[in-house]
Amino acid sequence: MQDRSDLLEGVIQKFADQSAIIGVVGLGYVGQPLALRYAEIGYRVLGFDISETLVNSLNSGRSPIQHIEDKRIEAACKAGFEATVDFSRISEADGIMLCVPTPLNRYREPDLSFVVNTCEQIAPHLREGQVIALESTTYPGTTREEVVPRLESTGLKVGRDIFAVYSPEREDPANLDFTTSTIPKVVGGHTPPCLEAGLALYGKAIETLVPVSSTETAEMTKLLENIHRAVNIGLVNEMKIVADRMGIDIFEVVDAAATKPFGFTPYYPGPGLGGHCIPIDPFYLTWKAREYGLHTRFIELAGEVNRAMPEYVISKLVSALNDRGKAVKNSKILMLGIAYKKNVDDMRESPAVELMEVLRSMGAQLDYADPHVPVFPKMREHRFDLSAVELTPQTLAAQDAVILATDHAAFDYNMIESHAPLIIDARGVYRARGENVVRA
């Protein structure tokens, strides 16, 4: 490969002196915090998205993501941040970070269409000296097999003319203890010069960088992080069922085990997995492993346990209603919290929505209460024409049962317990169980 050390040195210098322009493609839960971080430390930032509504909102200083305050968007706009749907402007950016979705298709196989389409959309506008970083969670080999060939279709050589890296996002929405800048960032380059360029891209914005030997290593790192959580949550979900049958409080057990100062990390059971990573990432690895003739039995078993949790919650509801002489059909059921985790408005892969789908199919009359989701959003696979109801004593008393699916801090749990005739607690909020509380 022709030596272009002069080009690489120039690229590194532009990021070091912050004269580089940062491009962020995909302005959702990952892209927005990243764009804001760069704007806040003095880079000029261009944000790219296919949604004109989102772009107009951001350019007006408004964030559609609840935990991102409008004042941060307003400050970024004053500092020069601009969002656009015009992908020809990719040519203006020196560093381009791809933060697009990587969902599963209907067969629970990796759907790389957003990554592929984005690469093909930006390719005609690439130029020498740009650094392209994929941040979307994916299987090992994606950068090398899918991204690099599309970048090189321009005639530019990766590692010589342009630079490609994989650096997995580690955002945790509404986590006040860790921010974009303080979470260590793994970076893997397609070539050694690519790694150098990638470290320069992130060097000013992220406090701690973790360079690894290849893009495949970085891709596998992200999967390990989330599969580790999925497997341990599967373990504690299975133990929850056993403990419940034995009359033991699994939450008390986990709390007690967590006092051990070494060798144990507490994970808590719930109604199923939610979010954009944990329910999806294991399938990326199991799918890729088949290419190598391997069957990831341990990972897939954990997935089976976690996917069965909504069914377990429903079984507890059915049993509790039956004890009261009622059927699910025509019963009034209120879902408490429909976001995938507490104190956020993120609905991706929320187990509460799966519970609602099952209950609707069983003929229940559904409502929900969620201070973070005032109107049920449009989702690819779920349609509910519902708005959040006000959580009052009268609303609660009118229900046949409420299911505590997401334990938002804003809920008045004492009031709920006092007025709800039946609570199916899937989050372990009510440790001292009353007569109207059923642990699920």
* Cβ–Cβ < 8 Å for 298, 316: no
Q: Determine the Cα–Cα distance for residues 233 and 303; give it in Å rounded to an integer.
A: 10
* Cβ–Cβ < 8 Å for 138, 112: yes
User: Which residues have a catalytic role annotated?
Assistant: 277
* Cβ–Cβ < 8 Å for 140, 288: yes
Distance of CA 62 to the CA centre of its chain: 21
Which candidate, 210, 113, 232, places its Cα nearest to that of 165?
Answer: 210
Which candidate, 249, 166, 259, places its Cα nearest to that of 210?
Answer: 166
Q: Which two tokens stand for residue 134?
A: 């994929």
Q: Which two tokens stand for residue 243?
A: 């403990």
